[in-house]
């Protein structure tokens, strides 16, 4: 670094250093904190006294870019220095920063001058990044165009030195030097321009400075080529051929002409018009839009009137020297399917009988179409789901014939739609509907909803009560559907059905003519016939099953233990009877149906409820404990037998039990074991016969009593034994009861009693009896003979 010192000596009130300037040179853009020089050494100052003498640095008319370290006397960079900001003008190539160093005790002032040296830190820059030029395509080559120059804030060799242009066939540049030494470029047209070939040229201009390394800046040059009317309008084709359907609506587009002009602006604005060679008929039929070139339908098109139209259209631009082009258009009118086919009904028979023969002709139809070609070819059809078909005849005639048997009851009439369609595109069609009515034939027998009727009638019904309506249905019409109802005669027990039942011949209502008793008649089975009024008449019958439903109109009858009407049954039992022993068994019968005749038993009154139990289903009375000395010797039991009807009916029996101290032979509960035929020896058979004779006297007494009650005498006869069973009684004196049958068998109980036990024989009874009670009479077991005899009750 060079240093220049000038010494000036002068005297004043302040003692100043000799008039000299210390000069330093530094490059711009040095980093902050960089040391410029040690001014203490350069000014021969004692570093140790700098603080004491309050050394300071003043910068004249500038920012504080530099400062002094008082500890070392070094001058350093406080803020980065930009030469272009410090010295913005290029009038002088030099740029200085003037400083004063001031010391006290004594006061001394030193002048320091720091020269800021330029570095190439700025690239050339154009005032505009994009340069627009408008050049007519008719401009001759060699023409020059001025371009804005680039500027570089650097100085000397670091400023703009030259320019470069991107490669172009049509343009080049020439670098010029101004009076101030600045460089600028001129654009030169090397080849003539054609806007239709290339309307815009994009160039890139580069400015390069002389620094090392060199810096550069660019600007984009956009050359817009201005148009001249040098191109005539052109059509896509010289001859256009167009097809259009007749009857096209007014305003329909025929063709959209599109002439093009390579020029722009008014030079490319086109107008369309008919030439003088276009016929007036054509101009009246079609409209030409002068701005868009669209040709639309203006009048009605009819293929039969006019089939081909020729026209010539001119397209002219609107340039100063107008240019034009022309084309020829041929419009062909195409025939369209604009006539609907027609149907003519030549013959139609209605109504017809439903039993008409197959292939019978019902109608004759003709069809026609005024169009030609495929548009005039027609087809006739009817719906597929009908029992008819069409037969084609010459000259577009069709016959409608029956293809399947007809049934008026399924379909009473047919709406036959004849549809005729031509083969045009799109096809046209027409239709006509005819109604075919069918006449009824008596071909259906009356039909009952059910093949078998089951009618339940409650007994004790009122005579003349309506039982049911047995109406049948006949799908025929008029007299063929009028039905009459009959009861087919059938005798039951010499009684005709017409005496028991009556049916209304018009509506089939069935009535009862008498009051029925379930205990006398259970059911009736007969037939009812329904007959129509056709010719010949048809009929059908149905089976009717009348079931008499039982009412609970019979109260239970107590048959065991047997006693005279209103009397009390007296029994004796030992006081030593064990717990659970069978004391007595109550048996009651009900002649109603099974549901109403289901009998249950219960105590109505009992002397000691803790002593006896009653099974509600089988009527067995058993001891619940052994007798004690506190128990009364006489026990009174009132048992009620109640049936299952609604309301329920009942009967009661009073049993008076007396306990005795006399020891008796214990008997076990009766058990029923099968008795084979070979058990009966001759001695046993005699014994049974003997005992049966004795019992028969008691049986006669019972029967007489019953006859007086029922006023009907019908003595029972024992049938031959079927299957015998023996009940041996040891500990108990009550035998088990047999079953009651409502259908086939009546049981009679024959009791042969000996001192050792009882023998029970079960036998079948004749069919047809109302009911039979089979039981074993109650025996006290105390006496040596039975207190009661076996009984058979028949009503």
Closest CA to 747 of 794, 707, 782, 708: 794
DSSP summary character for residue 646: S
Residue 550: the pLDDT is 84
Instruction: Give residue-wise pLDDT tens across range 443-480.
Output: 889 999 998 999 999 888 889 899 999 899 989 888 88
Residue 169: CB atoms within 10 Å: 9
Residue 684: the pLDDT is 56
Domains of the chain are 22-117 (2.60.40.60), 125-226 (2.60.40.60), 234-334 (2.60.40.60), 342-439 (2.60.40.60), 452-549 (2.60.40.60), 557-660 (2.60.40.60)
Query: Counting beta carbons within 10 angstroms of the beta carbon of residue 112, is it exposed (0 to 12), middle (13 to 18) or buried (19 or more)?
Result: buried
The three-point CA angle 341-345-346 to 5° equals 125
Order of strands across the sheet with 582-585? 582-585, 620-623, 612-614
DSSP summary character for residue 246: T
Order of strands across the sheet with 413-422? 352-353, 429-439, 413-422, 378-381
Instruction: Give residue-wise pLDDT tens across range 404-415.
Output: 999 888 899 999
User: Coil, strand or helix: which one is 195?
Assistant: coil
Tell me, rounded to whole angstroms, the distance of Cα 355 from its chain centroid: 49
d(CA 675, CA 240): 127
d(CA 263, CA 315): 14
Tell me, rounded to whole angstroms, the distance of Cα 462 from its chain centroid: 59
| Listed range (29-38, 702-711, 716-725) with the worst mean pLDDT | 716-725
Dihedral pair phi/psi, residue 747, rounded to 5°: -110, 135
Contact yes or no for 390/381 (Cβ under 8 A): yes
Instruction: Give residue-wise pLDDT tens across range 509-541.
Output: 999 999 988 888 888 999 999 999 888 899 999
d(CA 309, CA 295): 12
Tell me, rounded to whole angstroms, the distance of Cα 214 from its chain centroid: 79
| CA distances for 89 relative to 86, 127, 328, angstroms | 9, 17, 74
CB-based contacts of 678, cutoff 8 Å, min separation 6: none
| Listed range (397-406, 675-684, 743-752) with the worst mean pLDDT | 743-752
d(CA 84, CA 116): 10
Is pLDDT at 181 greater than 60 in this prediction?
yes
**Band (675; pLDDT cuts 50, 70, 90):** very low
Spell out a b/e string for 519-544, using b for 16 or more CB atoms within 10 Å of the CB, else e. bebbebebebbbbbbbeebbebbbeb
Look at the pTM and tell me if it is higher than 0.75.
no
Residue 219: the pLDDT is 92
Contact yes or no for 637/603 (Cβ under 8 A): yes
Closest CA to 554 of 510, 601, 593, 502: 593
Percentage of the residues of the chain whose pLDDT score is greater than 90: 25
Closest CA to 589 of 543, 555, 630: 555
Which H or E run includes 703?
helix 682-710
Residue 401: CB atoms within 10 Å: 16
Pairing label, strands 56-59, 96-103: antiparallel
Instruction: Give residue-wise pLDDT tens across range 216-255.
Output: 899 999 999 888 888 889 999 999 999 998 889 999 999 9
Residue 795: the pLDDT is 26
Residue 291: CB atoms within 10 Å: 9
Q: What is the mean pLDDT of residues 209-215?
A: 85
Contact yes or no for 784/735 (Cβ under 8 A): no
What's the mean pLDDT when you consider all of the chain?
Answer: 79
Is pLDDT at 66 greater than 90 in this prediction?
no
Is pLDDT at 683 greater than 60 in this prediction?
no
Q: What is the mean pLDDT of residues 636-649?
A: 87
Residue 566: the pLDDT is 60
Instruction: Give residue-wise pLDDT tens across range 361-406.
Output: 999 999 988 777 788 889 999 999 999 999 988 888 999 999 999 9
d(CA 759, CA 776): 10
**Band (161; pLDDT cuts 50, 70, 90):** confident
Percentage of the residues of the chain whose pLDDT score is greater than 70: 82
Residue 682: the pLDDT is 52
Instruction: Give residue-wise pLDDT tens across range 92-122.
Output: 667 888 888 888 888 888 888 888 888 888 8
Tell me, rounded to whole angstroms, the distance of Cα 54 from its chain centroid: 100
Please spell the DSSP secondary structure of 272-295, one letter per residue.
EEE-TTS-HHHHHHEEE-TTT-EE
Provide the residue count of the chain: 795
d(CA 445, CA 474): 6
Instruction: Give residue-wise pLDDT tens across range 475-492.
Output: 988 888 899 999 987 766
Residue 628: the pLDDT is 85
Helices (H), 59-205: 83-86
d(CA 572, CA 561): 13
Is pLDDT at 779 greater than 50 in this prediction?
no
The more confidently predicted of residues 432 and 664 is 432
d(CA 146, CA 412): 105
3-state secondary structure 22-34: EEEEEECCCCCCC
Query: Counting beta carbons within 10 angstroms of the beta carbon of residue 7, is it exposed (0 to 12), middle (13 to 18) or buried (19 or more)?
Result: exposed
Pairing label, strands 130-136, 216-226: parallel
């Amino acid at each position: 670094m060079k240093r220049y010192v000038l010494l000036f000596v002068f005297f004043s009130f302040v003692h100043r250093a000799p008039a000299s300037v210390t000069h330093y040179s530094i490059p711009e853009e040095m980093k902050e904190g960089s040391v410029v020089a040690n001014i203490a050494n350069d000014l021969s100052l004692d570093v140790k006294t700098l603080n004491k003498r309050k050394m300071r640095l003043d910068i004249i008319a500038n920012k504080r870019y530099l400062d002094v370290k008082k500890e070392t006397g070094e001058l350093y960079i406080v803020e980065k220095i930009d030469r272009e900001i410090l010295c913005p003008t290029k009038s002088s190539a030099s740029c200085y920063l003037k400083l004063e160093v001031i010391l006290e005790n004594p006061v001394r002032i030193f002048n320091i001058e720091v020269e800021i040296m330029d570095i190439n830190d700025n690239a050339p820059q154009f005032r505009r990044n994009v340069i627009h030029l408008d050049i007519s395509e008719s401009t001759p080559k060699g023409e020059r165009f001025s371009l804005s120059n680039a500027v570089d804030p650097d100085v000397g060799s670091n400023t703009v030195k030259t320019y470069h242009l991107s490669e172009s066939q049509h343009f080049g540049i020439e670098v010029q030097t101004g009076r101030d030494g600045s460089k600028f470029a001129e654009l030169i047209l090397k080849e003539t321009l054609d806007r239709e070939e290339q309307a815009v040229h994009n160039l890139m201009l580069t400015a390069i400075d002389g620094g090392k390394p060199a810096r550069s800046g660019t600007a984009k040059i956009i050359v817009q080529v201005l148009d001249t009317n040098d191109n005539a309008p052109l059509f896509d084709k010289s001859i256009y051929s167009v097809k259009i359907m007749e009857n096209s609506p007014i305003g329909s587009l025929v063709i959209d002409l599109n002439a093009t002009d390579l020029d722009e602006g008014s030079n490319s604005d086109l107008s369309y018009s008919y030439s003088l060679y276009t016929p007036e008929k054509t101009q009246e039929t079609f409209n030409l839009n002068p701005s868009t070139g669209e040709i639309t339908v203006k009048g009605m098109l009819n293929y039969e009137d006019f089939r081909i139209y020729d026209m010539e259209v001119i397209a002219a631009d609107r340039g100063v020297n107008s240019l034009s082009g022309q084309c020829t258009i041929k419009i062909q009118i195409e025939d369209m399917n604009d006539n609907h086919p027609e149907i003519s009904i030549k013959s139609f028979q209605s109504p017809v009988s439903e039993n008409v023969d197959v292939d019978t002709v019902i109608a004759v139809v003709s069809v026609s179409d005024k169009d030609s070609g495929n548009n005039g070819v027609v087809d006739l059809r009817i719906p597929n789901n009908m029992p008819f078909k069409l037969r084609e005849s010459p000259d577009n005639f069709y016959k409608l014939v029956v293809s399947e048997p007809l049934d008026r009851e399924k379909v009473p009439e047919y709406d036959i739609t004849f549809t005729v369609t031509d083969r045009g595109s799109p096809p046209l069609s027409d239709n006509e509907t005819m109604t075919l009515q069918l006449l009824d034939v008596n071909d259906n027998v009356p039909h009952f909803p059910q093949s078998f009727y089951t009618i339940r009638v409650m007994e004790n019904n009122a005579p003349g009560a309506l039982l049911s309506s047995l109406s049948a249905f006949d799908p025929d019409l008029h007299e063929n559907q009028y039905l009459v109802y009959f009861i087919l005669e059938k005798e039951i027990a010499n009684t005709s059905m017409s005496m028991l039942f009556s049916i209304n011949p018009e509506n089939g209502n069935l009535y009862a003519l008498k009051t029925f008793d379930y205990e006398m008649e259970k059911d009736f089975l007969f037939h009812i016939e329904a007959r129509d009024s056709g010719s010949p008449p048809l009929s059908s019958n149905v089976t009717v099953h009348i079931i008499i439903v039982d009412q609970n109109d019979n109260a239970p009858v107590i048959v065991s233990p047997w006693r005279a009407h209103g009397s009390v049954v007296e029994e004796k039992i030992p006081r030593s009877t064990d717990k659970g022993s069978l004391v007595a068994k109550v048996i009651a019968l009900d002649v109603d149906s099974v549901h109403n005749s289901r009998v249950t038993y219960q105590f109505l009154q009992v002397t000691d409820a803790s002593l006896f139990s009653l099974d509600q289903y089988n009527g067995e009375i058993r001891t619940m404990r052994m007798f004690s000395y506190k128990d009364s010797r006489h026990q009174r039991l009132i048992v009620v037998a109640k049936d299952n009807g609604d309301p329920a009916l009942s009967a009661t029996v009073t049993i008076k039990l007396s306990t005795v101290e006399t020891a008796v032979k214990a008997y076990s509960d009766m058990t029923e074991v099968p008795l084979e035929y070979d058990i009966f020896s001759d001695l046993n058979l005699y014994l049974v016969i003997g005992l049966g004779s004795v019992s028969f006297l008691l049986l006669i007494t019972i029967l007489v009593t019953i006859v007086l009650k029922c006023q009907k005498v019908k003595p029972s006869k024992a049938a031959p034994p079927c299957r015998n069973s023996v009940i041996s009684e040891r500990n108990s004196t009550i035998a088990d009861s047999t079953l009651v049958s409502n259908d086939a068998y009546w049981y009679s109980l024959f009791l042969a009693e000996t001192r050792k036990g009882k023998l029970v024989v079960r036998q079948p009874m004749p069919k047809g009896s109302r009911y039979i009670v089979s039981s074993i009479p109650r025996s006290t077991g105390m006496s040596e003979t039975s207190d009661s005899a076996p009984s058979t009750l028949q009503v």
